[in-house]
């Protein structure tokens, strides 16, 4: 009993230290200009788990969860995260084992989301924004999301058709259906401009799936080639445009 209490105390103190540390990647402290790489390092230095990036949460409206890709350096998320933040949208970052199979981490994320929804009944929507390999993680929710709270998924530059190593080792299969409570937008980069896909024979982003809204990204964004990592920033801007039209 004493050892369990001691362990719980240590974990609580460790969590408190992390949250109070100057190194914690609070959204307000992240810099998408000159300090973008340092800010990215702070994000990726987090232990595996789901992290709120705002000191004060509204706990209503939507929660936005960013899900990184394989071997991410984090910097590609700084501008999008700061752009998507607003009064009615609480921003989170899911740090996961991107060298493992995606379904294992998807199940963990699902549990964490359900815990938040049970504590905060005012949350009206869950928004998952995934990039690259992170998109394979979010496909688990296409058919397994069990809450009545609507879920909105944006899969960006993601090889949703699968890739040989993931298919063989993890038993990954492309999604075949999307539940009614889930809406999916897939944002495809142009294969010849995306360093992750350009040398492949077939574009692994392309799948045939009902209710999967697809958007082909342009060749340039802000006068720069629109490639793999830059794609998240473009999509963040597009999401904001759609949000403003609705308002």
Cα within 13 Å of Cα(229), Cβ side: 11
Residues 140-159 have pLDDT tens digits of: 999 999 999 999 999 999 99
Bridge-based pairing state of the strands 224-225 and 220-221? antiparallel
Q: Residues 111-137, buried b or exposed e (16+ Cβ, 10 A)?
A: eebeebbeeeeebeebbbbbbbbbbbb
Q: Which of 231, 133, 241, 229 is nearest to 188 (CA)?
A: 231
Residues 25-43 have pLDDT tens digits of: 999 999 999 999 999 999 9
Global confidence as pTM: 0.90
């Amino acid at each position: 009993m004493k050892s369990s209490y001691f362990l719980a105390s240590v974990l609580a103190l460790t969590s408190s230290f992390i949250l109070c540390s100057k190194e914690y990647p609070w959204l307000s402290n992240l810099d998408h200009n000159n300090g973008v790489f340092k800010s990215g390092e702070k994000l990726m230095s987090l232990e595996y788990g789901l992290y709120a990036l705002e000191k004060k949460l509204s706990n209503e409206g939507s929660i936005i969860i960013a899900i990184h890709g394989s071997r991410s350096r984090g910097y590609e998320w700084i501008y999008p995260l700061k752009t998507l933040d607003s009064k009615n949208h609480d921003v989170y970052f899911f740090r996961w084992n991107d060298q493992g199979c995606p379904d294992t981490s998807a199940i963990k994320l699902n549990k964490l989301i359900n815990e938040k929804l049970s504590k905060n009944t005012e949350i009206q929507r869950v928004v998952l924004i995934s990039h690259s390999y992170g998109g394979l993680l979010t496909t688990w929710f296409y058919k397994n999301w069990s809450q009545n709270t609507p879920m909105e998924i944006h899969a960006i530059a993601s090889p949703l058709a699968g890739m040989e190593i993931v298919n063989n080792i993890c038993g990954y299969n492309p999604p075949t259906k999307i539940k009614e409570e889930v809406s999916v937008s897939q944002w495809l980069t142009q294969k010849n401009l995306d360093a992750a896909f350009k040398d492949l024979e077939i574009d692994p982003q392309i799948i045939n799936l009902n209710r999967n809204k697809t958007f082909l990204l342009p060749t340039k964004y802000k006068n720069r080639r629109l490639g793999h990592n830059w794609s998240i920033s473009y999509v963040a801007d597009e999401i904001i445009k759609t949000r403003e039209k609705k308002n």
